[in-house]
Structure 1
Amino acid sequence: MKHPQISKTRRQSTRMQRHPVALASTLALLASAGAVQAQQAAPAAGTQSLETVVVTGIRRSLDSAVTLKRESRGLVDGIVAEDIGKFPDTNLAESMQRIAGVSIDRNASGEGSRVTVRGVGPDFNMVLLNGRQMPTSIINQLNNGASGSRAFDFANLSSDSISALEVYKTARAESPTGGIGATINVKTARPLDMRERIASIGVKANYDGSVSRLPNEIKGDKVTPEISGIYSDTFGNRTLGIAISGSYSKRSSGSNNAYTQNGWLSEAYNATGGAFAGVPASNLKNFPTSGFYTHTNDMRYSVTALDRERLNGQVVLQFAPTKELKFTVDHTMAVNTVKSKNLENSAWFGPSFSGPLNGAPQTTFTSGPVATPIIQTATWDGTHDYSLNAGQFAQKTKLNSTGFNAAWKVNDALSFDLDVHSSKSKTTPDSPYGTYATMSLALFTQGNTTAYYDKDLPIMESKGMVYDPAKTNVTGSQFYNNLSDQTVDQGQLRGTYRLSADDKLIVGLGFTKLKNRAASANNFHGDWSGIGPAGGFKNLAVGQYSLGGLFNRIPGHDDPRLYPTFFAQDFEAQRKQAVANAMQFGSSSTGNVPMSKAVAEAYFAAPSDFSQPGASDWRTTEKSTSAYGQWDHSFDTAIPMNLSVGLRYESTKIESSSQVTAYTGTDWYAQNEVRLTGGTSTFGTKSGKYSYWLPSIDWDADLADNLKVRASFGVNIGRPGFDQMLGGTALNADSARYNVPGAGSAGDPALKPLKSKNLDLSAEYYYAKSSYVALGAFYKKVSDFITATVVQQTFPGLNQPASGTYHQAALASGIPADRPDLIRQYIFNNYAGQPGVTVTNATLNQGNILGSVPGTQPLQFNITSFANAAGDNIKGLEFNFQHMFGNSGFGVSGNYTMVKSGLKFINNTDSNAQQSPLVGISDSANLVGFYENDVWSIRAAYNWRDEFLARRTDGGGNNPMYTEAYGQVDASIGYKIGKNLTLQADLLNLNDGYIRQHGRTKDQVNSVLQTGRRYLIGARYRF
């Protein structure tokens, strides 16, 4: 069918272009008004009744999004709620992945939390709430420490009160800086924008299948509740308006993860063997004689039960004394509480490259260019420790944002808009044990152990290891106290002056003050010889489960080589027994002196503040001033065209302070653990500043009534992470190991932000009502990219204990270099009392003599520092379409995005080499099909994302972590009963997929994460 002729209307609309930020509200207003009129208007007597078609639900949402895309200046995509209080997806990030060029990062529960746009990672996408910059407070769960991320976590916001999402892919002078990928505006309902009273309530039951894959000791409820509601109305002849919305949800879920915690370290082959110095050649098969090789230190199997409780609310008050003047006051609140229980079984290799011995296979490498041990063997004597960790994680995030807006239309030509807000996000511990606590129950019966990396699931084989409660003991423990706190105070003034019907001038000023604090303190104890005598925890109940059964979705779970058992214990019971043992026997790391109850309780608890040596405390203040001007012009010619030309000035001053700890010594206090001692803390402070002029040009033309082309050019900046702007060098006190360097980091607030010059070209063909195809190409030239460089440094007084006369004598006696426990024992047996050799307990306890050993050579530290590099380009193609099959109710939409860049990680190099990769670059695709009529609303969606670089540092160096290609199938079904009641079912992760991550090659398994299917069944009633 030929598309209706709309050229006259189109030409008129080009003169009356609305700003895209306000467009979705206008669309919702018109749609609501149309629906009300269609339902309430009765035909006059004696007139013929005409059939009226009311577009609602999915189709209205898609129509509104199409209009937003078509009418906006620049390239804007969006999602509009199907109805007030009914957003298409249960999670905002899940919704945004339906937009071309947008991909999501999933958290441990499999839920979308952060977004990548056109290959630009979450830290460089600006998120706004109703046009305001939102604070973010993220705890870095990867290393249980402070986070330098700027990324907004969408898991904190419910989708129930959201009316629209707008994704601005091109730079605009009037848009805040920081989003070189995109600027994302989250919009909530405004009462004076709606023509009718809105009142609805919804309830859901959430069933999560992942809970059934957890041990009984930690699993939560399979079914949890959700409830949401919204009320909006106007009074006094539409001069007063109030909107109240709220939601509460509770979710229990589970995740099972097989991973390595310390990364895959890469180094160049050298004649002395590097990390393999002293390892007999017979132990190694296919060991490279050139190029690079990698190795890892551990293999871990982890199961986590997660409980999330989220409360969202918003109140909006509006007063419009005249049609020309409107005041809005609003407050948004979000509280997100996340608690989890974790159990982990792990084997530590060290690295140890043993075999063949007692039937153990040789450590076997793949061929280059980066050789990887596809088989890695450690031979033990049957008394080695196998770690059974139990942990708890608990944090609460509170977001509060209060804003005021005044919109004044002085006359038909001049208007002003003033907006100010103060917003704060703070994440704190929500447990007496801090943010994260873990305790290791060691089983001292481990013999020869081999790791195989030839399946999707890493396979650990350990022959002869059995559970013996008389040979268990609590060894290492860690209790973290983490804080993330960010405030944003912002004021924006915008003036619009209409010079003529075809010309409009927009000017504005902005002031933003951002204060960020991220702090972390760790109460760490390496009691590797135990808390009390062996068997002191024999009364602790330890469940036994099928290890393969816990990972039954991952290929390799049924491998006969896999150790058959996963051990599970209760954290609270384990800690209680540890406190009792410490009161009776003391701890190995403190000389086995009995403790008082108060001391023992504090020994297994989080630190109370961040002033202790080794704690991190980052404090950054950014003050930005901006000014912009933009000219919009519409050409009333045979080919209607629009042109927007703008220029933005941005000036930023930064002051960054960080706690720095200076250490005076090292202690080789257990088998292969080395820690720094004698720490004293001070604050180091640095400052920086930068200013930029950022031009932008947007042009579009209607070549025909249904064919539109666009071209845009703009410059934007992306600010450095807070961890990259530290005021001093921070050393990790517990990162060094026997023959392994320590780690640290140093930042610089004088770093320049990334600068991106962006070019966009696109064509859109609207071939039928609600149907179109679009093709776009984009090019981003990114300069001043922030590169991570690892340099080796030494510090006075900090020596490597695995050096010197005593160490050389142990090696000369024939002890292999990969047996630090035997080397340390030899030194104690032969040199006790000699200078530097201190024995605090000569009794062998679980294979360790307690004491310290000196070193003579400086301890090397891998210090990660940051600098601006030249940069490279990002380029790609976007294709998206939407098709409605007439009035049948069926429709389909989809998109595909291809992204390429020279900002790649160089895999064929060592862990200390300089790297300048861009995290998150990948191709992505979505396909959505739906059917809708007056009763049914059915939708199915498939989302796919190709492999991408998820992290560029892992294990204390520049070691990559790639997330492999992943796809997910979701569906939703709605059934309407009468005019007001709708039953709803949301079915998520129907394909029950798993997420796998690897290092430089696919053989280097970093992580394999399995979650489960999720079902939400509920009802929504509109009053």
Structure 2
Amino acid sequence: MQPTSSPRLRPTALAAFTLLMGAAQAQTAAPADADNKLETVLVTGIRAAKDKSLAAKRYADGVTEVISAEDIGKMPDKNVADALQRVPGINTATGTGGNGGYDENDRVSMRGTSASLSLVTLNGHSVASADWDYGDMIAGGAGPNTSGSARSVSFLLLPSELVSQVVVHKSAQADDIEGGVAGSIDIITRRPLDFKKPFTAEVGVQGVYSDRAGKTDPQLSALLNWKNASNTFGVMGQFFDERRHVRRDGQTRSYGVATAAQANAAVPVGTTFVTNVATQLFEQERKRRGGVLGVQWKPSDALVLNGEAFHSQLDASYYRQIFNTDFANSLNSKVVPTGAVISNGVLTGATFANTTNNGNNLQATYNPGAAVKTNYYTGDFKLKVNDSLNVNGLAGTTKAEGKADFYEHYMSFRGVTQAYTLGDESGPTRISLPNGLMASNWNFIRSDHNHTLASSVDREDFAQLDGEWSFDGGVLNSLKFGWRGADHLRQAYRPLKTGWPMNAAGTGQVDGGLPQIAWDGKTLPSDFGASLGDGAGGLAGYVPSLSPSTIAQWSEANLSNDPVFNRPASGPFRVGEKSQALYLMAKLSGDAWRGNVGLRYVKTRTSVTTNTGLSCGAAGSRAADGTLITYGSALQASECAAFVPAGATLTTGSRFGNFFTMTTDSQGSELLPSASLVFDVSKQLTVRAAIAKTMSRPEYSALGTAIGNFQFNPASTPVSTASGGNPKLEPVVAKNFNLGVEWYFQPRSLLSAQVFVIDFDSLIGAGSSVQYLFNTAAKDPVTGVLKPAFMDTTVSQPISVTGKSKGVELGWEQPLWGGFGANANYTFADAKEANGNPIMGAAKHTYNLGAYYEDERFNARIAYAHRSEIRIGLYGAQQSYAAASGTVNASFGMKLTDGLSLNIEGLNLNSPTLRYFNKVPTSTALPEQTTALYNSGRQVYVGLRYKY
């Protein structure tokens, strides 16, 4: 509801208004003018959500977007990220770690930047985050363009039922927690004294059908809230238990150019061809359960105490089967294809009649222990010391843990005829095995069969104290000041990767003698691949499908699980960060304007622990005196002692090689000034401007990836090269500018435009530096004999670069006629690094379209969300992108009785296929090479909700 006079609010009135908006009633605030009367209209449902969201946005000092609980409840928003994707300037991703997308939004990014540059908090405090996927737990490759442990928050553990309001801050001010260069997202949960009635109970029961998996699973949520009659004490409990099956059909492919060694009469030198096609079936059962317990006590009008405990766990057991058809292997084996079709230098189709070579293999990954959980425990208070001074305090701890316990098994198929037809570049490649597969083709090979354990821990202890001193009269309304301290830890563990047992001599692994795994004759589903497009299902029905339990039993029975012999060197890391922050902010206002100006000081001490591999003392080699070196022997350690830096710890005895563990410490500080101004041109028109210096800390993988991949090339200067992380990376720092106008032309209506610039003084990019390191691949320049030594080394690693994201956001929402309404928004973001590459996660064009209907009994909504292509990293040496994508979601609700309602919700109704591709030089035959296609189908939820 719109005020009856110009909204010229002082900060004290704004604070009161914000508290009112946090309550569960839908009402609007009038200006802080004693002569004006408050005009109130009580509305419910979608209209109430619009009122609360737009009012909170309008009267905020900064540039914000707000989503209320009713907004979330009226869409199939199964987690908070689903709801956020409808906000201008927001992009969402459904997967991380280079493993492709799934069917549920997982990460959120803002204004043409990566997800790690947006801070996510709950009730204003940090929330720890971890991952269920092994590739996201450990340190990845060098730089930000690879998979690995990220700083961004996973939204999979945050069901939307928990949320009262989500506030997106696009401009920063001094009292905001540092960490969001592009902005921050604060998820606000319900509090016991916010409810209108002494007792509130709400129960929701749903069934979800996933059409790709072909299964229906239960979803349950419940809330109980009690408060006393005097509204001074309340207790709230809320829990959820949700299950869902996921099936994702996928196809990945890679390309090459025929060399002289590969070329033949049918495939000339320089022909681009498909080197490998991997047909992928991913099946998962997700069980998400947890809850929140809140206690609120108001012993006096001057003091409010809150306590809250939250826990959420996702069990995500999965089974992934990948059937690889290797056409490069056929050319390497001198197979001349028949039916070869070459168009514009590209081999678009051919049949390879293999005889003895291993051109096909099956990789099966079973992870029954995949899981992730997070929790937090907090306590806070709000104290009114006197009419001028208010003091708030907050302290708590949060911890998240991800686990992987998976088995991998590889089998090859010898002498299998294989063929491919490259169709539409944006579609799948048709694969066929003309002569089928027979038992005689099954070929047990010694490969990387293993059982791997991995985990990651993310933890933070935090405390903060804020005060605000208010003044009567004048331009200066109040001074706000405060302190925050945090101790953060991110650690990845990789204690075991089993393999072939150690031989009797202690110099290597056994050469053979292990039995072949049993195959029960099962194959991939008959409808596999059909969702990807014409031709993708060519392997369905006869490609082998191994039993996951059989894989686990075979691994346990035949592989060595010695924790010393099977300890990997790569992947583990530890990043510790201790930070302190102080701030001072002045709140100002005049006749038709308000704003603030402030300064935040942040100091961070960082400690990074990583492993570095050594080639000295290799088991099976001999020392200078001719003595044979064995795993874990004293001789192995003494051979490497001279190459271990001071302060580092040496580890020997692993089949993955010897390595040392070392910790690097650093510290730095930043001054972060900010200012914002809001001018009320009229009752309907508001203009905003904001400027701030913001910072985010680097990705954990960029800090914690060990330096490795040493190469020695006498033709290079220097001759030694390597790649890895950079434990001394500086923070990401940027100047953030905002200018916008908002026209509230009628109740629950808004037309807005926002211009933004994020100018990065430092951004994490790919680069190199010269360091004096021990090269394990170095050779004697005369004899060519391996001779590891310390030398100048060019290290490819993350470095600080510059860049800029600039763009515009347009928004519109309005009731139309009757119970109908509509909304639309569009964001343009031109986000580039200094080298011209798009910033990671940046989509140039994003838009959302929506419509709704609501009356006393029925409500319905439909929404379409679209984003253009985004850069996601490196695929080999080429830039990798996720193609443009759009989703259709809809919901329908019917009120059966005063407390009971029926809800039907549809997610991904257009069954989108996610496409990934490489951008290569325009002179190549395929400038946009498709590298992956994934489809997870649709999900439909049907259920009842009862509220008392």
TM bucket (normalised to shorter chain) is: 0.7 to 0.9
Aligned to 2:945: 1020
Q: Displacement of 1:15 after TM fit? A: 4.8
Aligned to 1:425: 400
- Counterpart secondary structure, 1:751: coil
**Distance in 2 (alpha carbons) for counterparts of 1:904 and 1:375:** 40
TM-superposition CA deviations, 1:685-721 (whole Å, max 9, x none): 1111111111111111111110111111111012111
Q: Which moved more, 1:302-311 or 1:513-522?
A: 513-522
**Distance in 2 (alpha carbons) for counterparts of 1:375 and 1:563:** 20
Q: Quick one: which of 292, 295, 300 aligns to 1:317?
A: 295
**Distance in 1 (alpha carbons) for counterparts of 2:278 and 2:511:** 21
- Counterpart secondary structure, 1:211: coil
Which AA in structure 2 matches 1:628? Y
- Mark the runs of 5 or more structure 2 residues left unpaired by the alignment: 29-38, 96-100, 140-147, 502-508, 621-653, 712-718, 921-926
Mapping of residues 143-182 of structure 1, within 5 Å: 145-146=138-139, 147-182=148-183
Is the CA contact 2:182–2:736 (under 8 Å) kept in the aligned structure 1? no
- Counterpart secondary structure, 1:717: strand
**Distance in 2 (alpha carbons) for counterparts of 1:856 and 1:563:** 51
Aligned to 1:974: 893
Is the CA contact 1:490–1:512 (under 8 Å) kept in the aligned structure 2? yes
- Counterpart secondary structure, 2:161: coil
Aligned to 1:57: 45
2:860 equivalent to 1:938: yes
Is the CA contact 2:518–2:550 (under 8 Å) kept in the aligned structure 1? no
Is the CA contact 1:632–1:644 (under 8 Å) kept in the aligned structure 2? yes
Is the CA contact 2:528–2:537 (under 8 Å) kept in the aligned structure 1? no
Over 3 Å counting, the alpha-carbon distance change for 1:421 and 1:442 in structure 2 is: same
2:227 equivalent to 1:234: yes
TM-superposition CA deviations, 1:939-983 (whole Å, max 9, x none): 001010111112x2334xx43221111111110011012211111
Q: Displacement of 1:242 after TM fit? A: 0.9
Over 3 Å counting, the alpha-carbon distance change for 1:861 and 1:879 in structure 2 is: farther
Q: Displacement of 1:102 after TM fit? A: 0.5
TM-superposition CA deviations, 1:751-806 (whole Å, max 9, x none): 11111101111111111111110011101111222222379999756489xxx99x
- Counterpart secondary structure, 1:303: strand
Q: Quick one: which of 382, 401, 410 aligns to 2:385?
A: 410
**Distance in 2 (alpha carbons) for counterparts of 1:171 and 1:532:** 64
- Counterpart secondary structure, 2:51: helix
Aligned to 1:543: 523
2:845 equivalent to 1:923: yes
Q: Displacement of 1:458 after TM fit? A: 3.7
Aligned to 1:813: none
TM-superposition CA deviations, 1:20-68 (whole Å, max 9, x none): xx9665314262689xxxxxxxxxxxxxxxx996411111111111111
Aligned to 2:673: 695
Over 3 Å counting, the alpha-carbon distance change for 1:315 and 1:85 in structure 2 is: farther
Q: Displacement of 1:441 after TM fit? A: 2.5
Q: Displacement of 1:330 after TM fit? A: 0.9
Which AA in structure 2 matches 1:66? L
Q: Displacement of 1:538 after TM fit? A: 6.5
- Percent sequence identity over aligned pairs: 22
Over 3 Å counting, the alpha-carbon distance change for 1:362 and 1:878 in structure 2 is: same
Q: Displacement of 1:988 after TM fit? A: 1.0
Q: Quick one: which of 547, 572, 579 aligns to 2:549?
A: 572
Over 3 Å counting, the alpha-carbon distance change for 1:544 and 1:84 in structure 2 is: closer
2:445 equivalent to 1:445: no
**Distance in 2 (alpha carbons) for counterparts of 1:856 and 1:283:** 44
Is the CA contact 1:620–1:656 (under 8 Å) kept in the aligned structure 2? yes
- Counterpart secondary structure, 1:419: strand
Aligned to 1:624: 579
Which AA in structure 1 matches 2:820? F
**Distance in 1 (alpha carbons) for counterparts of 2:808 and 2:662:** 45
Mapping of residues 526-925 of structure 1, within 5 Å: 536-537=516-517, 540-543=520-523, 545-546=525-526, 549-557=527-535, 565-576=542-553, 578=554, 600-603=557-560, 612-636=567-591, 640-664=592-616, 679-726=657-704, 728-731=706-709, 745-789=723-767, 798=777, 865-886=796-817, 888-903=818-833, 917-925=839-847
Is the CA contact 1:614–1:661 (under 8 Å) kept in the aligned structure 2? yes
Mapping of residues 97-496 of structure 1, within 5 Å: 97-107=85-95, 108-138=101-131, 141-142=134-135, 145-146=138-139, 147-196=148-197, 197-212=199-214, 222-235=215-228, 237-260=230-253, 276=259, 278-280=261-263, 284-285=267-268, 287=270, 298-349=276-327, 353=331, 358-360=336-338, 380-393=354-367, 394-429=369-404, 434=405, 436-447=406-417, 449-450=419-420, 452=422, 454-459=424-429, 461=431, 464-475=434-445, 476=447, 477-496=449-468
Over 3 Å counting, the alpha-carbon distance change for 1:341 and 1:7 in structure 2 is: same
2:65 equivalent to 1:82: no
Aligned to 2:869: 947
Task: Tell me the number of residue pairs that the alignment of Structure 1 and Structure 2 aligns.
Answer: 863
**Distance in 1 (alpha carbons) for counterparts of 2:744 and 2:795:** 51
**Distance in 2 (alpha carbons) for counterparts of 1:512 and 1:682:** 30
**Distance in 2 (alpha carbons) for counterparts of 1:727 and 1:305:** 30
Q: Quick one: which of 71, 93, 97 aligns to 2:59?
A: 71
Q: Quick one: which of 492, 500, 505 aligns to 2:472?
A: 500
Over 3 Å counting, the alpha-carbon distance change for 1:90 and 1:493 in structure 2 is: same
Which AA in structure 2 matches 1:646? G
**Distance in 1 (alpha carbons) for counterparts of 2:536 and 2:344:** 24
**Distance in 2 (alpha carbons) for counterparts of 1:377 and 1:301:** 18
Q: Displacement of 1:725 after TM fit? A: 1.5
**Distance in 2 (alpha carbons) for counterparts of 1:374 and 1:991:** 30
Q: Which moved more, 1:339-348 or 1:565-574?
A: 565-574
Q: Displacement of 1:340 after TM fit? A: 0.8
Over 3 Å counting, the alpha-carbon distance change for 1:227 and 1:650 in structure 2 is: same
Q: Displacement of 1:326 after TM fit? A: 1.1
Over 3 Å counting, the alpha-carbon distance change for 1:377 and 1:514 in structure 2 is: farther
Over 3 Å counting, the alpha-carbon distance change for 1:1010 and 1:396 in structure 2 is: same
Over 3 Å counting, the alpha-carbon distance change for 1:303 and 1:744 in structure 2 is: farther
Aligned to 2:905: 986
Q: Displacement of 1:158 after TM fit? A: 1.2
**Distance in 1 (alpha carbons) for counterparts of 2:542 and 2:800:** 49
**Distance in 2 (alpha carbons) for counterparts of 1:632 and 1:515:** 35
Q: Which moved more, 1:620-629 or 1:294-303?
A: 294-303
TM-score by length of 2: 0.83
Over 3 Å counting, the alpha-carbon distance change for 1:976 and 1:563 in structure 2 is: closer
**Distance in 2 (alpha carbons) for counterparts of 1:613 and 1:90:** 38
Q: Which moved more, 1:82-91 or 1:225-234?
A: 82-91
TM-superposition CA deviations, 1:110-149 (whole Å, max 9, x none): 1001011111111111110100011112355458844320
Is the CA contact 2:875–2:918 (under 8 Å) kept in the aligned structure 1? no
Is the CA contact 1:620–1:655 (under 8 Å) kept in the aligned structure 2? yes
Q: Quick one: which of 510, 514, 528 aligns to 2:484?
A: 510
Is the CA contact 1:746–1:866 (under 8 Å) kept in the aligned structure 2? yes
Is the CA contact 1:254–1:305 (under 8 Å) kept in the aligned structure 2? yes
